[in-house]
Chains A and B, each alone.
Chain A
Amino acid sequence: MASMLLNSLRNCPVCPAWAVQSAARSLSTTVQLQAQVQTKSKKTLARPNVKNIVLVEGVRTPFLLSGTTYSDLMPHDLARAALQGLLHRTAIPKDVVDYIIYGTVIQEVKTSNVAREAALGAGFSDKIPSHTVTMACISSNQAMTSAVGLIAAGQCDAVVAGGVEFMSDVPIRHSRKMRKTMLSLNKAKTLGQRLSLLGSIRLAHLSPELPAVAEFSTSETMGHSADRLAAAFGVSRVEQDEFALRSHSLAKKAQDAGLLQDVISFKVPGRDIVSQDNGIRPSSMEQMAKLKPAFIKPHGTVTAANSSFLTDGASAVLIMSEEKALAMGYKPKAYLRDFVYVSQDPKDQLLLGPTYGTPKVLERAGLTMSDIDVFEFHEAFAGQIMANLKAMDSDWFAQTYMGRKSKVGTPPMDKFNLWGGSLSLGHPFGATGCRLVTTVAHRLQKEGGQYGLVAACAAGGQGHAMVIEAYPK
């Protein structure tokens, strides 16, 4: 099935202008660093007067379907587990880290700065400041790039970035009217005032307010938008199911082969030790074909089987300046190079972040599609991935909507999400970004490539892409 996809998507032309650019690029890099790079005779992306920033280590808790083993925890518990895992793996002294940044989407109101709560709980020095960022599904990407920024600016040398999402419990609020009454009740002075306020409560006030899974600006749920996007690019149900099956099969293979080294074991209080993702379930095309559309009924194509599921999980990475890492005796996994954030129309192009981000980041890095050895794209929906691949392969789209001369081309499928993706491994919104980056680093080491590309879409019509370079062996 994967080969079927390959046949249809493989043609990926190289833009000559970029090739020239990439050849001309980084001639001035230091001799010492160039000497280190030997793989495939490609140049390094190191630049003069720009600090080399490295990924030292990346871990994550197992990603579990929400409502399973993690269901009684709180978000900071998961984040704490990831941080402890990172401490354990790296054996970094608890006071060496300069800063901690976490990404999350649905915030637990009790721990709105979840980074701080988790860091304290994980035993980090209380002298390390922490903050929490949010940018929908690219929240932990934002945490990582914020860390890169702090290091590049010379503010810090070692930063822990991560992400957490906990969908087993979400804040459900009283209705606005009820809240208003309750707040007024606080201020009421006499019994009479209190009684009259209590008397004003109507049955309708008691209906709760759930956190919206819909885009605020358009009131459209993401699944609905994904279905429309798939239809706009003419992605069929079969294509989507095939891609979902591919994701689950590859994830299963990677899990069985022990390739998912970033997963740490986690002793859940009151439960067993969890050491594996539990959402990987390769099915058959026949089984998947039986499902009814989940969002657009009756003719939609996005189903439960070809969408990412609600997931609990946390991730953490240790990012350092190369000098510091080497000084501390670490062997870095990869360089974090150029990155971009993009945004577009949140209604009709909600999930096209990778399409917009990829050419932009490649241009920045002076690379072309063919230079990339490892692709890790966030799989929100199979239909979203297929739509992005088609958009990247369309000159018309590039010219009409992106203001580019030609298409960027599609990633070859034999380099694309080979260890599964968000569809199968799970997608804890705030934590996925670190998983993508760590996976690229691990795949580059395993497969011997030099450049990796991460791309992801996010609510709000935003997107992110980052180029990662293998650390020389």
Chain B
Amino acid sequence: MAGVRALGALSRITSRRYTLTTGSPFRTFSVAPAMLAGTHVNYEVKGDVAVVRINDPNSKVNTLSIQMQKELTDVMNEVWSNNAVQSAVLISTKPGCFIAGADINMIEGCKTAEEVTQLSQEGQNIFEKIEKSPKPIVAAINGSCLGAGLEFVIACQYRIATKSKKTVLGTPEVMLGLLPGAGGTQRLPKMVGLPSAFDMMLTGRNIRADKAKKMGLVHQLVDTLGPGLKSPEERTIEYLEEIAIECARGIVNKKIPLSKEKGMMQKLQDYIMSFEMVRNQIYKTVHGKVMKQSKGLYPAPLKIIECVKAGIEQGPIPGYLAESQNFGQLAKTTESHALIGLYHGQVTCKKNRFGAPQKEVKTLAILGAGLMGAGIAQVTVDKGVHTILKDTTVSGLARGEQQVFKGFNDKTKKRNITSFERDSILSNLTGQLDYSGFEKADMVIEAVFEDINIKHKVLKEIEAVIPPHCIFASNTSALPIKEIAAASKRPDKVIGMHYFSPVDKMQLLEIITTEQTSKDTTASAVAVGLKQGKVIIVVGDGPGFYTTRCLAPMLAEAVRVLQEGVDPKKLDALTTGFGFPVGAATLADEVGLDVAAHVAEDLGKAFGSRFGGGNVEVLKTMVDMGFKGRKSGKGCYVYQPGLKVRDVNPDIEEILEKYKMTPNPAVSSDSDVQYRLVSRFVNEAVLCLQEGILSSPVEGDIGAVFGLGFPPCLGGPFRFVDAFGADKLVEKMRRYEEVYGNQFTPCQLLLDHANDSSKKFHK
């Protein structure tokens, strides 16, 4: 789960939209202009306060690149040597971003672990100088302050942050398989206490300004401003600067104390923490939690614990040393490469490579207010798109509307949005039973039952009412789009948009184009998906497209494993042990056994014996007995509301007994079972690339990880092949092929890679 959580959080740090300010014609400086003007950092002296401003002109975000670090060091040296300066303010002039972290390319550019360690030590040295600065430095934070950015500000003497929604603080390094390598593991525990520091560093989650103030991470908050004589963003930064300057003066004049009087609770906590036994217990608990969640597949969290422990128990010198060395080692692990690869892939998949659509979708109609339909509505209404949710029954519609309401009401309860914002968001939603208003729809997404006849009927009804430019998208998980489009009068406007359940949580959107789908239709679908906050892969048409097609053979294998007498719990343990966030048996329950049976049968017909393995009858019998998975309360497991612990469904033993197969001991070790499951998944993925369903390995990796939960630590099927070795994988598959036949026959592209070790999917 840690992996999935990590990735969920990862999405939040990526790909924000920033608008660069258009100069500031109104700004009048009372004092001489910048005394030292670099391209990234400059500073200006206002009275006795040096205002250090950072802004990377070449990027949407500020990162602590080599250039930035160099200029910062130069400027700070100048500040320290300037006798007229008593204090300094550090501020970013880039709206929405303070410092988003270290430059990943800088770390990737290093050849050896030693080089990375060197980088870490340089960072540690700079921040040590900041921490020991004789002139107080006030960090004025507006926008994302992450990773090395956060490490920077916690070395400063005072921190002020704006209450902007964009102002978030955090240490997301763990999500890239790294650790805060510039003093973070050493300073953070001292600042916010051991439990909070572990929470921040191990989850990598973003902390909003108000929470940061409560935690003691920042000293003071500043409101964001509305329009005045300048744009709100520009004036807010200016206002923040004004207050920070006042603050810096206050610190020098001793009007603002740097050390806060500790509260009773704080004193108590410090006292408790002074016992080594208590601390050891914390290390042990945290370690246990990490092992439970990550199955030991992710080295970074363990190293973070190690560094914190070294700093607290042995002192700063061993602490900082441990931090820099571990940072170097982590940067060269395959896990970190995989996670960084996913990060880059995600950035790629958040762009519209088809260009801007001719017409923006302003009204979206959704057919079917079921789980998927309502989920799609939920991610659409809050983007200012008028959303029509249509169902055929009042009860179905009511359920769907309630689902959307609940989604936003939960956000209100968590105080992410106000009740007023919730209400005004929901005003974009129209629930109805008829086709009124469809004449204004720019796009229709159907999420009706997966039956080609129903889809055709719906398509014809829709085409009778929608305007000519309107796009028809089908949210199908397996039916080929060209078969659906066969009933259309305008197949160029038909496209597949495959969402994943639950829609508001799953980041992936798989868009399926047929040969007839026009480029503008694709561009429009991608634009809608991006607006909905999705990571998007665009794949070719075919049974099961990409994601369902990869999953089907793995589930078929899972059924066979069950038939061979492996307990569902054991199957889950094997898959999660490999790094899947959700075990195979649980996944089948989540997807719905009826859906799984349906898909297995369909794809089995389309692809023949390659998709065999487990007997489809097993699934069918289960469905017949009413075991449809979580939604029906029983599947592989028994689900009871309110209970987290669940037991294996005792009734399925009988079924499995009936279809029992004898395992072949040669290919039935735990490890073999794992590789049987994974190799079928991977082989199918590579085949999709070979057949042109996938346009690139990057999309294949992103689709598998974000849509199907392929182990994030492996970075996706293609990166897995690169790292594991195609030859080794082929060798294993040949062994299984001998026992089970063509289901394990490696595809040509995989063989090519196995024969030539220089061939890699990712350069």
Interface of chain B residues 240 through 272 with chain A (CB within 8 A)? 243, 246
Check A400 against B223 for contact (C-beta < 8 Å).
no
B418 within 8 A of A: yes
How far apart are the CA atoms of A296 and B232 in the complex, in Å? Answer: 18
Contact of A345 among B226, B228, B229 (CB under 8 A): B226
A348: chain B residues within 8 A (beta carbon): 225-227, 232
Taking a contact as CB atoms under 8 Å apart, the answer to whether B228 and A234 are in contact is yes
Please give, as numbers and ranges, the residues of chain B lying within 8 Å of A396 by CB-CB distance. Answer: 229-230
Residues of B within 8 A of A (CB-CB), count? 18
Is the CB of A18 closer than 8 A to any CB of chain B? Answer: no
Chain A positions within 8 Å of B420 at CB level: 216-219
Report the bound CA distance from A434 to B670 in whole Å. 86
- B231: chain A residues at CB < 8 Å are 400
| A residues near B232, Cβ cutoff 8 Å | 232, 348
Which residues, 245 to 304 on B, are CB-close (under 8 Å) to A?
246
Cα-based distance from A68 to B717 in the complex (angstroms): 78
Contact with B along A280-302 (1 / 0, CB 8 A): 00000000000000001011000
**What's the Cα separation between A228 and B164 when bound, in Å?**
13
- Which residues of A in the span 226-240 have a Cβ within 8 Å of any Cβ on B? 227-229, 231-234
* A174 interface hit (Cβ, 8 Å): no
- How many whole Å from B229's CB to the nearest CB in chain A? 5
User: Which of B223, B230, B235 is A296 in contact with, Cβ under 8 Å?
Assistant: B223
Q: List residues of A (109-126) whose CB comes within 8 Å of B's CBs.
A: none
Contact B229 A233 (CB under 8 A): yes
Closest to A387 in B: B228
Closest-by-CB residue of B relative to A346 is B420
Known: A216-B420, A218-B420, A299-B246. A349 touches B229 (CB 8 A): no
Collect the chain A residues with CB atoms within 8 Å of residue B435's CB. Answer: none
Interface membership of chain A positions 200-241, coded 1 if the CB is closer than 8 angstroms to chain B and 0 otherwise: 000000000000000011110000100111011110000000
- A347 near B229 with CB under 8 A, answer no
Q: What's the Cα separation between A231 and B239 when bound, in Å?
A: 7
**From A224, A296, A299, A397, contact of B229 by CB (8 A):** A397
Q: Which residues of chain B come closer than 8 Å to A217, judged between CB atoms?
A: 418, 420
A390 at the interface (CB under 8 A from B): yes
Q: Is B110 an interface residue (CB 8 A)?
A: no
Q: Is A394 an interface residue (CB 8 A)?
A: yes
- Which residue of chain A has its CB nearest to the CB of B224? A228
Q: Which residues of B contact A234 (CB under 8 A)?
A: 228-229, 235
Interface string of B451-466 (1 = CB under 8 A from A): 0000000000000000
Task: Contact check, B226 vs A228: say whether CB atoms are below 8 A apart.
Answer: yes
Task: Give the docked Cα–Cα distance between A296 and B220 (Å).
Answer: 11
- B223 touching A397, Cβ below 8 Å: no
Instruction: Check A347–B246 contact: CB distance below 8 A.
Output: no
Interface set, chain B 171-228, CB cutoff 8 A to A: 220, 222-228
Count chain B CB atoms within 10 A of each CB in A232, A345, A396 and give the residue with the most. A232
Give the A-B pair count, Cβ closer than 8 A.
61
User: Chain A contacts of B228 at CB under 8 A?
Assistant: 229, 231-234, 387, 390-391, 397
Residues of A379-414 at the interface with B, using a CB-CB cut-off of 8 Å, are 387, 390-391, 394, 396-397, 400-401
Residue pair B243, A299 in contact (C-beta under 8 Å): yes
Chain A residues whose C-beta falls within 8 Å of the C-beta of B418 in the assembled complex: 217-219
A224 to B226, CA, bound (A): 12
B223, closest chain A residue (CB): A228
**Complex-state Cα separation, A349 to B239, whole angstroms:** 17
Q: How far is the CA of A299 from the CA of B418 in the complex (A)?
A: 26
Contact B222 A232 (CB under 8 A): no
Within 8 Å CB of B223, what residues of A?
Answer: 224, 227-228, 231, 296
Residue in chain B with minimal CB distance to A401:
B227
B226, B229, B232, B418 — which one has the most chain A CB atoms within 10 A of its CB? Answer: B226
Say whether, besides A217-B420, A232-B232, A232-B235, A349 and B226 are in contact (CB < 8 Å): yes
Q: How far is the CA of A224 from the CA of B220 in the complex (A)?
A: 16
Determine the distance from Cα of A391 to Cα of B228 in the docked complex, in whole angstroms.
Answer: 7
- Tell me the complex Cα distance, A347–B163, Å: 14
B225 CB contact (under 8 Å) in A218, A228, A345: A228
A232, B226: Cβ atoms closer than 8 Å: yes
Could you tell me the distance in whole angstroms from the C-beta of B162 to the nearest C-beta in chain A?
A: 12
A398 CB, min distance to chain B CBs, angstroms: 11
C-alpha gap A296/B239 in the complex (Å)? 13
CB distance from A354 to the nearest CB of B (A): 15
**Shortest distance in angstroms between B331's beta carbon and chain A's nearest beta carbon?**
42
Of chain B, the residue at the smallest CB distance from A215 is B420
Complex CA distance for A347 and B232, rounded to whole angstroms: 12
Complex: chain A residue closest to B228, CB-CB: A232
Interface digits, B708-732 against A, CB 8 Å rule (1 contact, 0 not)? 0000000000000000000000000
Most central of B223, B224, B228, B420 by chain A CB within 10 Å = B228
Q: How far is the CA of A63 from the CA of B183 in the complex (A)?
A: 62
A347–B226 touching, CB < 8 Å: yes
Least CB separation from B227: chain A residue: A401
- Chain B residues with CB under 8 Å of A401's CB are 227
Give the chain B neighbours of A232 by CB distance below 8 A.
225-229, 232, 235, 239
- B246: chain A residues at CB < 8 Å are 299
On chain B, the residues within 8 Å of A228 by CB distance are 223-226
Query: A296 — which chain B residues lie within 8 A by C-beta?
Result: 223
CB distance from A228 to the nearest CB of B (A): 5
Could you tell me the distance in whole angstroms from the C-beta of B117 to the nearest C-beta in chain A?
42
Q: Complex Cα distance A397/B228, Å?
A: 7
A residues in contact with B239, CB < 8 Å: 231-232
B243 and chain A: residue at smallest CB distance: A299
Q: In whole Å, how far is B149's beta carbon from the nearest beta carbon of chain A?
A: 24
Residue of B222, B227, B230 near A349 (CB, 8 A) is B227
Find A394's partner among B226, B229, B243 (CB 8 Å cutoff): B229
**B34 CB → nearest A CB, Å:** 22
- Which among A224, A299, A391, A397 has the highest number of chain B CB atoms within 10 Å? A299
| A415-438 contact mask (Cβ, 8 Å, vs B): 1 or 0 | 000000000000000000000000
Which residues of the partner chain A approach B227 to less than 8 Å between Cβ atoms?
232, 348-349, 397, 400-401
Question: Do A390 and B226 have beta carbons less than 8 Å apart?
Answer: no
Interface centre among B232, B418, B420 (most CB of A within 10 A): B420
Query: Are B222 and A299 in contact, with the CB atoms below 8 A?
Result: yes
Within A341-375, the residues touching B (CB, 8 Å) are 345, 347-349
Interchain CA distance A414-B225 in the complex, whole Å? 31
Q: Which residues of B sit under 8 angstroms from A218, Cβ to Cβ?
A: 418, 420
For chain A residues 61-115, which have a beta carbon within 8 Å of chain B? none
Contacts of A400 in B (CB 8 A): 227, 231
**Which residues on B sit within 8 Å (CB–CB) of A219?**
418, 420
Complex Cα gap A234–B26 (Å): 12
The smallest C-beta distance from A460 to any residue of chain B, in angstroms, reads 12
Question: Closest approach, in angstroms, between the C-beta of B426 and any C-beta of chain A?
Answer: 14
In the complex, residue of chain A having the shortest beta-carbon distance to the beta carbon of B246: A299
Residues of B within 8 A of A229 (CB): 226, 228
Which residues of chain A are within 8 angstroms of B230 by Cβ–Cβ distance? 396
For A219, A348, A349, the residue with the greatest tally of chain B CB atoms inside 10 Å of its CB is A348
- A347 to B224: give the CA distance in the assembly, Å: 11
Which one of A216, A228, A345 has the greatest number of beta carbons of chain B within 10 Å? A228
Taking CB as reference atom, which chain B residue is nearest A297? Answer: B220
- Beta-carbon nearest neighbor of A348 in chain B: B226
Residues from chain A with Cβ under 8 Å of B222 in the complex: 299
A-B contacts, 10 of them at CB < 8 A, read: A219-B418, A232-B235, A296-B223, A299-B243, A345-B226, A348-B225, A348-B227, A391-B229, A397-B229, A400-B231
Contacts A228-B223, A232-B232, A348-B226 aside, 19 further interface pairs with beta carbons under 8 A come to A219-B418, A228-B226, A229-B226, A231-B225, A231-B228, A233-B229, A234-B228, A234-B229, A299-B222, A347-B226, A348-B225, A348-B232, A349-B226, A391-B228, A391-B229, A396-B229, A396-B230, A397-B228, A400-B231
- On A, residues with C-beta under 8 Å from B are 216-219, 224, 227-229, 231-234, 296, 298-299, 345, 347-349, 387, 390-391, 394, 396-397, 400-401
Q: Which 9 A-B pairs have the closest CB atoms?
A: A348-B226, A232-B228, A232-B225, A217-B420, A233-B228, A299-B243, A228-B223, A231-B239, A394-B229
